[in-house]
């Protein structure tokens, strides 16, 4: 083993102790779930609609962490549904508590008006995908924008810290 390879190996051995280097992306595991196609779907449960008890919903998003430091954030998204397609979009929250523009006759958020930053597009049941974004400090809304799903409570607030 050369001195260079020994130094490289020693540096990686210290990662569990020192933490990931600043240039590494923070990874957030996102599980998109539902209670099945036969479960009654809630309505009027979008962000800004008042107090939403996510534990009582028939579908939702579960995050491994609800915040990360500014910089590259990778969202690893898994659709755990057995029979429903889901997706995950990242939207900036410019005014806390204010809902994004909602297109009533389409039962979904107007992605362009909301400032859509990226997405893991439609995932069939059991599929996974990933999205990496360079995020500034602030609050973001992670949503499933399949018609009806956002208002059924498929959203979570995600905070990026300085």
**Lowest-pLDDT choice from 9-13, 32-36, 130-134:** 9-13
pLDDT bracket for residue 4 (50, 70, 90): low
Q: What is the pLDDT of residue 17?
A: 44
Q: What is the DSSP letter of 106?
A: G
Q: Tokens 């923070």 correspond to what residue?
A: 26
Mean pLDDT over residues 37-43, rounded?
88
- Number of helices (H), then strands (E), belonging to the chain: the values are 3, 11
Q: What is the DSSP letter of 63?
A: E
Give the span between the Cα atoms of 161 and 154, in whole angstroms: 23
Residue ranges per domain, the chain?
Answer: 22-161
For the domain with range 22-161, which CATH number is right: 1.25.40.10, 2.60.40.10, 2.60.40.680, 2.60.40.420? 2.60.40.420
Closest listed residue to residue 144, CA positions, set 26, 51, 41, 27: 41
Q: What is the pLDDT of residue 112?
A: 96
Asked whether residue 6 carries a pLDDT value surpassing 80, the answer given is: no
Between residues 86 and 22, which one has the greater pLDDT? 86
pTM, 2 dp: 0.84
Q: What is the pLDDT of residues 64-116, one digit of tens each?
A: 999 999 999 999 999 999 999 999 999 999 999 999 999 999 999 999 999 99
pLDDT bracket for residue 50 (50, 70, 90): confident
């Amino acid at each position: 083993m050369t001195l260079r390879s020994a130094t490289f190996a020693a540096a990686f051995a210290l990662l569990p102790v020192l933490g990931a280097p600043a240039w590494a992306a923070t990874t957030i595991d996102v599980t998109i779930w539902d209670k099945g196609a036969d479960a009654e779907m809630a309505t009027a449960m979008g962000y800004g609609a008042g107090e939403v008890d996510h534990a009582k919903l028939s579908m939702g998003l579960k995050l491994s962490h609800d915040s990360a430091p500014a910089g590259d954030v990778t969202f690893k998204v898994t659709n755990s549904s057995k029979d429903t397609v889901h997706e995950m979009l990242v939207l900036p929250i410019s005014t806390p508590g204010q809902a994004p523009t909602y297109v009533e006759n389409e039962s979904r958020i107007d992605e362009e008006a909301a400032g859509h930053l990226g997405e893991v597009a439609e995932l069939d049941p059991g599929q996974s995908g990933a999205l990496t974004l360079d995020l500034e400090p602030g609050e973001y809304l992670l949503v499933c924008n399949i018609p009806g799903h956002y208002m059924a409570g498929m959203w979570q607030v995600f905070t990026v810290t300085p």
